[in-house]
Chains A and B, each alone.
Chain A
Amino acid sequence: MKNKLKVLRAMRDWSQAQLGDALDVSRQAVNAIETGKYDPSLPLAFKIARLFELPIEEIFDDEFEGNIHD
């Protein structure tokens, strides 16, 4: 899943470790999410959204373009 976490973090001039501390996860977890190698759990995704004061869908893009009922 693509996401804008790296951009949002850079805009605030935070390091991965600082973001990890704010989210209560490890730096490795932040890196894995940023590089798209790990999709965060729903609670963590909400936590990220709250931290950046953005809706989840503005941070994460599931690349789904079809109709949900298809």
Chain B
Amino acid sequence: MAVNSKIKPKLSVKTYFRTIDFCTLIFVAGFAVYLFLNESGNYIFLLGAVFFIALLYLVYRGPSDEFAASCWNGAASYAFISMLGLSLVIPSLSGFIDGMYEAFTDDYIGAPPADAPYIPGEPLLPNLVAGEELVMAFGIAIFLMSFHWRRFRGGHS
């Protein structure tokens, strides 16, 4: 520990938690922009880049406090397992949602007939569940929620 601290001083717990708060704010802002402005281009990319740099900074410097480190480790484990679980569930979930959609409407959104005309610029199937984006957003949300849960449950700050 002493050797590492000479190479790169670890972040104080205050700075560490503030940076995580900043990441949470960025994530919520990104989600709001996606939901309410229906924007998935430049703004999301910019917010994602800031979020990623902030996380990279946290990983590179690391916390000086072992409780903060335990919050990170626990949250990362939950995020990993939930992302893995969701990756397995998404195809079934997508099929279920499509099936329910078909059952309650007259729209056919299953496999298109072989002779269906291709319309350039429009997907043949409606993308009700955007798999990769959903898994990523879900993983980050689980990470942040788990981190804050551990932090406030243990720290009451």
Q: Which residues of A contact B (CB under 8 A)?
A: 24-29, 31-33, 35, 37-38, 40-41, 43-44
Overall SS of chain B's interface? helix
Chain B residues within an 8 Å CB radius of A31: 154-156
Contact B154–A25 (Cβ < 8 Å): no
Closest-CB distance, A34 to chain B (whole angstroms): 10
Minimum CB–CB distance from B15 to chain A (whole Å) comes to 11
Closest to B156 in A: A31
A46 to chain B, nearest CB (A): 13
Extra 18 A-B pairs, beta carbons < 8 Å, given A29-B67, A38-B67, A38-B154: A25-B65, A26-B13, A26-B14, A26-B67, A26-B68, A26-B155, A27-B155, A27-B157, A28-B151, A29-B65, A29-B66, A29-B68, A31-B154, A31-B156, A32-B67, A35-B154, A40-B66, A43-B1
- State in angstroms the CA–CA spacing of A32 and B74 once bound together: 15
Please tell me if the beta carbons of A32 and B65 are within 8 angstroms of each other in the complex: no
> Closest 7 interchain pairs by CB?
A28-B155, A32-B154, A29-B67, A26-B13, A26-B65, A37-B154, A25-B65
Q: How far, in angstroms, from A27 to B155 measured CA to CA in the complex? A: 7
Interface size class of B (residues with CB under 8 A): 10 to 19
Interface status of B153 (Cβ within 8 A of chain A): yes
Chain B residues near A32 (CB, 8 Å)? 67, 154-155
Distance in Å: Cβ of B44 to nearest Cβ of chain A: 33
Contact mask for chain B residues 15-58; partner A; CB cutoff 8 A; 1 contact, 0 none: 00000000000000000000000000000000000000000000
In the complex formed, the residue of B with least CB distance to A37 is B154
Taken together as a complex, chains A and B put the C-alpha atoms of A40 and B70 apart, in Å, by 10
A56-B14 Cα distance, complex, nearest whole Å: 29
Chain A residues with CB below 8 A from B14, complex form: 26
Q: Which residue of B lies closest to A25 (CB)?
A: B65
**What are 18 A-B pairs with beta-carbon distances under 8 A?**
A25-B66, A25-B67, A26-B68, A27-B155, A28-B68, A28-B154, A28-B157, A29-B13, A29-B65, A29-B155, A31-B156, A32-B67, A32-B154, A33-B67, A37-B153, A38-B154, A40-B66, A41-B66
